[in-house]
Structure 1
Amino acid sequence: MTVSTVSLDDGDISVCEDGPGDAPVLLLVHGSASSARSWDALVPLLTGSHRVIRLDLLGHGRSAKPVDRSYAVPDQAARVGAVLERLGVGQAVVVGHSSGGVVATALAEQRPELVTALVFINTGPSLDAYIGPETALDPAQWPPSDEVLRQFASSGFSRVGYEMPAELLDEVRAMTFHSLVATMQATRVYLAERPLPARLAVVGKPLLVIFGEDDRRWRSSSAFDYQVAGAQVELLPGLGHSPLLEDPPRTAAALLAFTMAA
């Protein structure tokens, strides 16, 4: 793995690269309150056939966390496009987990020439599909304790009591309260403006939607809402909101079958 920093006007963006440099590019975009490390278990299953690029969106992981910059979805997507340009990437299959799929959609809207295909992993199509708990975090008690973080993250997995990896808890704790709240609010604003299936029907890119059938945040049947955009839908029984963590081999198998045919 090669880790580098791409300096943009808005701040530094941390980037990880794995796999052969001359292979087709897979760009992995994490969700809110997460980071590039959420893909750690999945990446080794992808590098046999792809150059895999991960980044920490502004406000997350090892990237900058400014208080005076926009965390709106279109601005995050513009930064992703700028990073690809700096890396000399002309085209990529873009994979987004949860709200990472929202950023991937905005990237395809802004820079269609960069995106050959899209893969969503448990990305809710609209606010109507949300079934998760309302988030209640106290800015006066930030950073939160492990107990509070585990409660906050618990709906991200298929079963109660799933132990979120300690390194991912650390990634949430490293965020500022402002960057966490601003990015989560930005996703809601973007989805409220226009649901993803309607946006993607205009974009016209090949689309795979992978969805853990036991998702406790987004109604899993809503995955079929993407069929208006011509999506291929793959439901994974027994998995929840984070198949990339809960069952990397099954997630990779679905992803690679699509990318090989795209």
Structure 2
Amino acid sequence: MTIPDDGPRVNGGPEATEHSTLPLDDGDIYVCEDGPRDAPALLLIHGSASSTRSWDPLVPLLTRSHRVIRIDLLGHGRSAKPAGPSYATPEQARRVGMALDRLGVEHAVVVGHSSGGAVATALAEQRSDLVTALALVNTGPNLDAFIPSGSAAIELSQWPPSDEQLRRLAGTAFSRAGYEVPQELLDEVRHMTPHTLTTTMQATRDYMEQRPLPDRLATLGKPLLVIFGADDRRWRSSSAADYHAVPGAKVELLPGLGHSPMLEDPPRTAAALLAFSAIH
């Protein structure tokens, strides 16, 4: 089902935002598309406890030259949140590949934020034909790079969490003092279930524990860009250097930004992505 957006056209371009719900074998997947449909495809995959909305400020900066596709992973955003299916990272990647097939996408540069970078990596492992290049935004290379923050934990027995609890949880995603987390992003966490929240986060840990991301990427032969906010409070930014183990990888640190540079400084993040995708 495709629902054209009644809002303004992106950058005055010929295509309006389209919202689709794609029925897959184990749950409906929500997709939105912006930009010219005949332009090169750029897929954006959100991180844990997030959704397509985390890319909202970035999308208008990308659509002059790209068909920008965003997907809510199963268990997140406006996608289904069933209790039964596997939320393992390879399964999430499989669903993303199926969604792109339904959309008629044959090749795409794939961008993943945080744990979305693990899904992007798994997609490249499964669908070398589909993924032309990868860009990881503040995706830790291995579990040793993770910075624990127990004080921000949410008590699942008191679900749904309050705005105050959600702001504490989201606080480590930003470095800029006084940054106001958009209300819609807080609501996206609240609309998850305790099962989907805990299971999807554990799935990322399991995937990275089995094999670090640089080891996985080094065997794929795909062009790689790693963008890292230098002041990340969830993953040690110094760990971005581990991605140099991937032949030809480009690693770019963004001073003054934290875990979510696409929200904190969309123009700087877009500039790095556009320069990379223009080559690949």
TM-score between both structures, scaled by the size of structure 1: 0.98
Q: Is the aligned partner of 1:82 residue 2:130?
A: no
Secondary structure of 1:156's counterpart equals: coil
AA partner of residue 88 (structure 2): A
Q: 1:147-198 CA distances to partner (integer Å, 9 max, x unpaired)?
A: 0000011101114543211010011111111000000000000000000000
Indicate conservation of the 8 Å contact 1:59/1:179, yes or no.
yes
CA distance in 2, matches of 1:139, 1:132: 18
Match of 1:168 among 169, 172, 185: 185
Secondary structure of 2:141's counterpart equals: coil
| Aligned alpha-carbon RMSD (Å) | 0.9
CA distance in 2, matches of 1:112, 1:104: 11
Match of 1:190 among 203, 207, 216: 207
CA distance in 1, matches of 2:213, 2:262: 21
| Structural mapping, 1:150-229, within 5 Å | 150-229=167-246
Q: 1:239-260 CA distances to partner (integer Å, 9 max, x unpaired)?
A: 0000000000000001101111
CA distance in 1, matches of 2:256, 2:156: 35
Q: Is the aligned partner of 1:73 residue 2:89?
A: yes
Aligned equivalent of 2:268: 250
CA distance in 2, matches of 1:225, 1:157: 22
Structure 2 unaligned spans of 5+ = 1-16
Match of 1:144 among 147, 161, 167: 161
Aligned equivalent of 1:34: 50
AA partner of residue 243 (structure 1): P
AA partner of residue 24 (structure 2): L
CA distance in 2, matches of 1:141, 1:160: 29
CA distance in 2, matches of 1:235, 1:137: 30
Q: Is the aligned partner of 1:108 residue 2:108?
A: no
CA distance in 2, matches of 1:159, 1:127: 25
Deviation at 1:138, TM superposition (A): 1.8
CA distance in 2, matches of 1:44, 1:161: 24
Deviation at 1:140, TM superposition (A): 1.8
CA distance in 1, matches of 2:192, 2:209: 25
AA partner of residue 229 (structure 2): G
TM-score between both structures, scaled by the size of structure 2: 0.92
Indicate conservation of the 8 Å contact 2:44/2:110, yes or no.
yes
